[in-house]
Amino acid sequence: MARRTGRAALVLSGEHKAMLDELAGSRTAPTREVERARVLLAYADGQSPTQIQRALGTSRPTIYKCIDKALATGVATGLQDRYHRPHPPQITDDARAWVVDLACRKPKDLGYAAELWTLSALAAHVSANAHSAGFARLARAGKTTVWRILDAHELKPHRVRYYLERRDAQFERKMAEVLMVYRDVNLYRADAVHDARPASIYTVSVDEKPGVQALGVTAPDLPPVAGVHPGVGRDHEYIRHGTLSIIAALDLHSGEIIANVEPRHRSREFIALLERLHAHYPSEAVIRVVLDNHSAHISKETMAYLASRPGRFEYVHTPKHGSWLNLVESAFSKMARSFLRHIRVASLDELKLRILKGIDEMNAQPVRFQWKSFDFQMAET
């Protein structure tokens, strides 16, 4: 029905009615939009502007403006502020592009000592060089103006986002080879591979976890006390006793971890692990080793040891910067989250004993880590 004000009736669709109901009851939407939603709901319900004014306490000009805008441009547009510019912009597109170009450069390339821009430094540079660049208006620009220009282009030159350059030209091939080994292990475990192989194959995942710190306390830990403090109390200071390296092999068939704990991880320590693997598995079997290209794995000493036992070990290398493909990293992660977490010891010897004990506990309930997905494609050559 028509209103006495001369304005047409506002008919709401089900979608618009639901949107206005939700907005009118919102506690997080802007107040002006909540107010406009209530005005439009009341007007669509047949109330006059006078009744709406008395019910909501909103001024009549505001009510008229809201209703007219909704009738002219639609409900969704009527909820928003109408943008208008009283005068042409003083900062031109060329001036904005100049600021963006500066933000995309490094300060050191412009004669400064800093590696990255701060908002203050960039604003100061813009102000100092605006006249010579032909953008006199920017000589009075402050941090807020510069920030608005950068924000419009989603630029944050003070932030660093790290990435890893792929430096292995054969990354896809090596990755596929490692994943095919994991698939073979899963099939063999599920009896999907018959015993026609000339020799049994045992696959182990090998790597080192260096730099395990032996930290000691300067004062005794305080145990939790019910109703007083729920956790362990510990002095902030600690004593450094040195570091150890865990050199481990994860049996992908059984989940058993075969590991040595050494002060260093050189070729001789790696060969010692190979000796343990050689003694652990049947003499006629092939030991397939998934590992990276660490110098200890491919050194002259290691190659000489492998040559003395031809056919015993078979290397499968992970690609460079592809340690996430090595399943022994999952075992190392479990160690870090369990017995290595917050560990405190009195000496390196105690740390070694605690690590070996923790590995024995993991072997008592072994977990067979396996690759879950094999959706990969070989790179075109």
* Domain regions of the chain by residue span: 14-78, 93-152, 173-364
CATH topology of domain 14-78: Arc Repressor Mutant, subunit A (1.10.10)
CA distances to 90, 139, 145, 227 from 126, rounded to whole Å, are 16, 7, 11, 59
Q: Reply yes or no on domain 173-364 having CATH 3.40.50.20.
A: no
Span 241-258, pLDDT tens digits? 999 999 999 999 999 999
Name the stretches of the chain with pLDDT < 70.
1-6, 82-86, 189-199, 373-381
Q: Provide the pLDDT for residue 380.
A: 38
Q: Which two tokens stand for residue 160?
A: 């660093």
Task: Pinpoint the alpha helices (H) of the chain.
Answer: 14-24, 31-44, 49-56, 60-73, 75-78, 93-103, 119-133, 143-152, 171-189, 267-280, 300-307, 328-337, 348-364
Amino acid in the structure at residue 208 = E
Report the Cα 183 to chain-centroid distance in Å: 27
Q: Between vectors from CA 117 to CA 114 and to CA 122, what angle results, nearest 5°? A: 115
Taking a C-beta distance cutoff of 8 angstroms, is the pair 63, 39 a contact?
yes
What's the rounded Cα separation, in Å, for the pair 150 and 119? 10
Q: Provide the pLDDT for residue 84.
A: 63
Residues 374, 376, 378, 379, Cα dihedral to 10°: -150
Q: Which two tokens stand for residue 313?
A: 């070990």
What's the rounded Cα separation, in Å, for the pair 325 and 318? 7
Q: Provide the pLDDT for residue 2.
A: 40
Q: Which two tokens stand for residue 101?
A: 């170009």
In the numeric block, the tokens 């996430």 are attached to 324
Q: Provide the pLDDT for residue 4.
A: 46
Q: Provide the pLDDT for residue 197.
A: 61
What's the rounded Cα separation, in Å, for the pair 355 and 349? 10
Q: Between vectors from CA 367 to CA 365 and to CA 372, what angle results, nearest 5°? A: 165
Q: Is there a shared CATH topology between the 14-78 domain and the 173-364 domain?
A: no
Q: Provide the pLDDT for residue 365.
A: 94
Taking a C-beta distance cutoff of 8 angstroms, is the pair 286, 314 a contact?
yes
Q: Provide the pLDDT for residue 381.
A: 32
